[in-house]
Amino acid sequence: MNGANIPRLQVSVPAEGADNYTAALERAGGNPAACYCPAPDLSCAGLVLCGGGDIACEFFGQEDRGSNPPDLARDRAELALFQAFYGAGKPILGICRGMQIINVALGGTLIQDLPRPQRDFHTWDGADKVHPIACLEGSLLHRLYGPLCSVNSAHHQGLERLGEGLRTIAWSESGVPEAVDLPGCPLLGLQFHPERMSFALRRPDTLNGEGILTWFVELCRNI
């Protein structure tokens, strides 16, 4: 592929790095520029907000109700990244924590610690959990995977009140929002991890995350 057709993507990662994200985005046709707490770089064609720890509850107006200790520097950096790319009308993909950042940035709130029985289906216990989701008819996920599919999960927080303009386009078996979009904007949030269900990490018991990642890279290439 001609280098001029490979979109450069700003990728915000946790302090320990995120090789799975960059490897999958490269295989999907992108050129990821990954960094911890980067300043916005609007020369990039799109933004990817990766997974990680909890968001400080002060950013969505709550007291601590079961959150883990936050990384305030990362919270502030990613909220600024979102506002910069959102304001510029550039594509944004949020994965797990990244979807939660999108929701908080648009005025939404989070369930700080999923209760049982949801927790048993979603929270990391040494490995990803696998469970079914239902996809909204006509949404991107419905077009890619149909009305029902299986995904991975590794989170103990979830979306509560949706941020302004967001709509839920996929739900878990117990109603946990699994994906959101913002009609009219090039934005997608996923509670699951497509980078761990694609290319070298493709697994037979879930959807193929390559579809989502290649869709996002093509969006960045063509917008």
Q: Among 155, 193, 210, 220, which one carries the catalytic annotation?
A: 193
Beta carbons within 8 Å of 115's beta carbon, 6+ residues apart: none
Residue 220 phi/psi, 5-degree rounding, is -65, -35
Rounded to 10 degrees, what is the CA torsion of 61, 65, 68, 72?
A: 10
Beta carbons within 8 Å of 100's beta carbon, 6+ residues apart: 55, 94, 110, 157, 158, 159
Q: Among 156, 195, 210, 220, which one carries the catalytic annotation?
A: 195
Instruction: For residue 96, indicate whether it is catalytic.
Output: yes
Read off the amino acid at residue 210.
E
Instruction: For residue 193, indicate whether it is catalytic.
Output: yes
Instruction: For residue 195, indicate whether it is catalytic.
Output: yes
Query: Helix, strand, or coil here: 179?
Result: strand
**Is 206:151 a contact under the CB 8 Å cutoff?**
yes
Q: Among 96, 135, 149, 220, which one carries the catalytic annotation?
A: 96
Two tokens at 213?
């990642």
Listed residue (81, 76, 59, 103) closest to 12, CA to CA: 81
**Is 48:98 a contact under the CB 8 Å cutoff?**
yes
**Residues acting as catalytic residues:** 96, 193, 195
